[in-house]
Amino acid sequence: MTTKILMVCLGNICRSPLAEGILKSKIDSAKVFVDSAGTGGYHIGKKPDNRSILIGKEYGIDIEHQRCRQFSSQDFKDFDVIYAMDRNNYKALVHFAQNADEISKIRLLLDEVDLKVKEVPDPYYDDMEKFDEVFHLIDKACTAIAENLNKI
């Protein structure tokens, strides 16, 4: 059976496309399906932010083919685990959820790792240094997720 994992941020152009690309690079696509979406609908159909594309390239992760989509209530049915990048995304997802089963699928991405920081910061109004920090935070969490999936 395939495990289905959805990465969620606000815009689906900066953080969650990186989370999708990074996790995909660490798992067997025959066993794990990974996608991403945004709680907001500002950039639907667009490519990821150029700065996310660039930082991905720097570390060998190609996300240029991805296209932005908005989270929908169907995602609660289609996915097993839904990772929020920050607490605002988490709250928005809880707000969309219609029952306890759906709420139980929502997790904060950085809860997968033991770090002081609990949220992947929104880098949209920041610089490449922030995108680099975001990449490494996501990468640590995705390593932990992939290790746990390999134990199943």
Q: Which residues are catalytic?
A: 9, 15, 122
Q: Is 51 in the site for ligand 4NP (CB under 6 A)?
A: no
Shortest reach from residue 13's CB to ligand 4NP, in Å: 4
What is the 3-class SS of 55-121, one letter each residue? HHHHCCCCCCCCCCCECCCHHHHHCCEEEECCHHHHHHHHHHCCCHHHHHCEEEHHHHCCCCCCCCC
Segment lying near ligand 4NP (by CB under 6 A), choices 10-18, 26-34, 74-82, 101-109:
10-18
Spatial contact of 123 and 15, defined as CB atoms under 8 Å apart: yes
For ligand 4NP, give the closer residue by CB, 14 or 55: 14
Q: Is 21 in the site for ligand 4NP (CB under 6 A)?
A: no
Q: Is 9 in the site for ligand 4NP (CB under 6 A)?
A: yes
